[in-house]
Amino acid sequence: MRQETVTTESTLKTAFSDYWSRIKVGDIGSLPAVLGLVVLCIVFSIMQSSFLTPGNFANLLTQAAAVIVIAMGLIFVLLLGEIDLSAGYASGVCAAVLVISITNHNFPWWVALVISVIVGIALGLFIGWLVAFLGIPSFVVTLATFLAFQGLLLLLAGEGGTIQLQDKTILAIENSNLKPLVSWAFFLVCAVLYVISGVRRMAARRKVGLKVELMKLWVLKTVGLLALCAGAVYALNLERSNNPQLVSLKGTPYVVPLILLILVIGTFVLNRTAFGRHLYAVGGNAEAARRAGINVKWVRISAFIICSGMSAIAGLIFASRQNSVSPTTGGSSTLLYAVGAAVIGGTSLFGGKGKMRDAILGGLVVAVIDNGMGLLGYAAGIKYIVTGLVLLVSASVDAISRKGSGS
C-alpha cells in the first residue's frame, strides 16, 4: 500500500496520459467506433437534412435493434476466438417458431417466446457440441448450420410463404413507445441505479484500502454518459408524427429498454461472474485455462448456447418489426452486419477482447451507414461496399493493435 498512496494522488492529467499510453500500445477499445459514429452523424446531418430528425433517430434505433442483439450474442462466441456464421438464420428459425406458435397454434405470446428461446438454445447446444467435443472448427460447423438453418426456415415458412403475426404484445416491441413521462421516469431510475452502483463499488474498494478510480474522472464520465442518454430520451420524446392531430408518435421505443436489460445482464455476466472471467481466459489462452482447472469444453458450449439464445430474442425483434416471418428473415446481410457491429465496436476476432457495449456502438455505426446512405439515395450496392470497407478497416485496426501489444 505504501507505493499505492503515491499513485492514488493522481490527477486528471495523469489519467489522460495513462489513457494515451494505453492507446499507443494498441489498447484502443471502443474509441474508433465512437469517433466513427460522431463523424458519420456529422457528415450525414450536413448532407441530408432529414437525417437529424426525431423520426429518423427512432427509426435508426428500431432498425439497429435486431442486429445489435445478435451481435451481443456473437460477442460471447467471438471472445473465445470462435465464430457463429449461422446466428442470423438461427434468429430467422426462432422467429418462425415464434410466429407459427402464435398464428397457427394460438399459443399466448410468452409461451411462444419460451418455445422459440428453447429452440435457440437447442441450436446452440448442437453447434457447441460439434465444436467442443468433435473439435470441428466453428467456422466450418456454422457454415454448415448456416445453410441448414436457411433450409429449415424455408421449410417452416413454406415455399415463398410469409406468415403474418397479429399478437399485440410482440408487435409493440418495435412499433410502440413508452409514454414521454414514463420514458423520463425510466431514465431517472436507470441513472440513479447507475450512480449508486458506481459509488458503492468505489466505497467498497476504499474501505479495504485499494486504489480507487479518480473521483473527478468518474464524475466526468458519469455526467457525460447520463447527459448523452438524457439527450436521447429528450429527442425520442419529441413529436415525430407527420400528422400529430391524427396520430401522435413520441416516446422511447420498447425495444430500447429491452436492449438495455440485455446489456446490463450481459455486462454483469462477463465482468462480475467467474463464468465471464473464464470466457476471457479461454479466449486468451485455452491451454492456460485448462491447466487452471477450467472446464474449457463447457465454456465453449455455453458460449454457443448464449449466442443462439440471443438470436431467438433477435428473432422476436425481427418478427415484431416485419409483422411477419418470411424465408429471408435474419438472412441476407444480417449476420455480416452483426459480426461487423461487434468488430467495429472493438471486439477482437482473435478472442479474449470485447465488451457487451461494443455491440451497441458498432451496431449503431452499421445502422447509421445503412440509414444515412439510404436517405442520400445511394443504391444498395454502394451501401454494402461501404459497410464492407468499414468492417475491413475495423478488422485491420484489430489486427494491427494486436501486433502493437505484442501478444
Partner 1 sequence: MTQPILSLRNINKSFGPVHVLRGVDFDVYPGEVTALVGDNGAGKSTLIKCIAGIYTAESGDYHFEGNKVQVHGPRDATALGIEIVYQDLALCDNLDIVHNMFLGRENKRGVTLDEAAMELMARKTLDSLSVRTVKSIRQTVSSLSGGQRQTVAIARAVLWNNKVVVLDEPTAALGVSQTEQVLHLVRRLADSGIGVVLISHNLNDVFQVADNIAALYLGQMAAQVRKSDVTTNQVIELITTGKSADITPVGAK
Site membership for partner 1, residue 203 (CB under 8 A) = no
Where does this chain touch partner 1 (CB under 8 A) — which range of 182-190, 207-215, 230-238, 370-378? 207-215
CA dist., res. 320 & res. 171, Å (int) = 4
CA dist., res. 345 & res. 392, Å (int) = 13
Closer residue to partner 1 in complex, CB, 39/292:
292
Task: Label residue 258 left, alpha or beta by phi (over 0 means left) and psi (-120 to 50 means alpha).
Answer: alpha
- Asked if residue 282 lies in contact with residue 289, where contact means CB atoms within 8 angstroms, the answer is yes
In the region spanning residues 10 to 49, those forming contacts with partner 1, defined by CB under 8 A, are: 25, 27
In the region spanning residues 126 to 185, those forming contacts with partner 1, defined by CB under 8 A, are: none
Closer residue to partner 1 in complex, CB, 216/272:
272
Joined grid coordinates for residue 373: 446512405
Site membership for partner 1, residue 204 (CB under 8 A) = yes
| Three-class SS of 169-212 | HHHHHHHCEECHHHHHHHHHHHHHHHHHHHHHHHHHHHHCCCCC
DSSP 163: E
CA dist., res. 303 & res. 183, Å (int) = 33
In the region spanning residues 339 to 368, those forming contacts with partner 1, defined by CB under 8 A, are: 352-353
Closer residue to partner 1 in complex, CB, 166/407:
407
Site membership for partner 1, residue 9 (CB under 8 A) = no
In the region spanning residues 251 to 280, those forming contacts with partner 1, defined by CB under 8 A, are: 272-274, 277-278, 280
Site membership for partner 1, residue 288 (CB under 8 A) = yes
CB of 394 vs partner 1, minimal distance in Å: 18
Name the 3-class secondary structure at 328: coil
In the region spanning residues 68 to 107, those forming contacts with partner 1, defined by CB under 8 A, are: none
Of the candidate residues 8, 103, 222, 285, the single one contacting partner 1 (CB under 8 A): 285
For 21-171, where are the E strands, in sequence order? 163-164
Site membership for partner 1, residue 400 (CB under 8 A) = no
Instruction: Count residues near partner 1 (CB under 8 A).
Output: 33
CB of 339 vs partner 1, minimal distance in Å: 20
Closer residue to partner 1 in complex, CB, 134/274:
274
The CA–CA distances, whole Å, from 293 to 281, 283, 287, 289, 299 equal: 11, 15, 10, 7, 12
Site membership for partner 1, residue 299 (CB under 8 A) = no
Q: What is the dihedral of CA 45, 30, 92, 118, to 10 degrees?
A: -140
Closer residue to partner 1 in complex, CB, 194/378:
194
> Which residue(s) pair with 178 in the sheet?
252
Summarize as ranges the residues that interact with partner 1 (CB under 8 A).
1, 3, 7, 25, 27, 204-205, 208-211, 272-274, 277-278, 280-281, 283-285, 287-289, 291-294, 352-353, 405-407
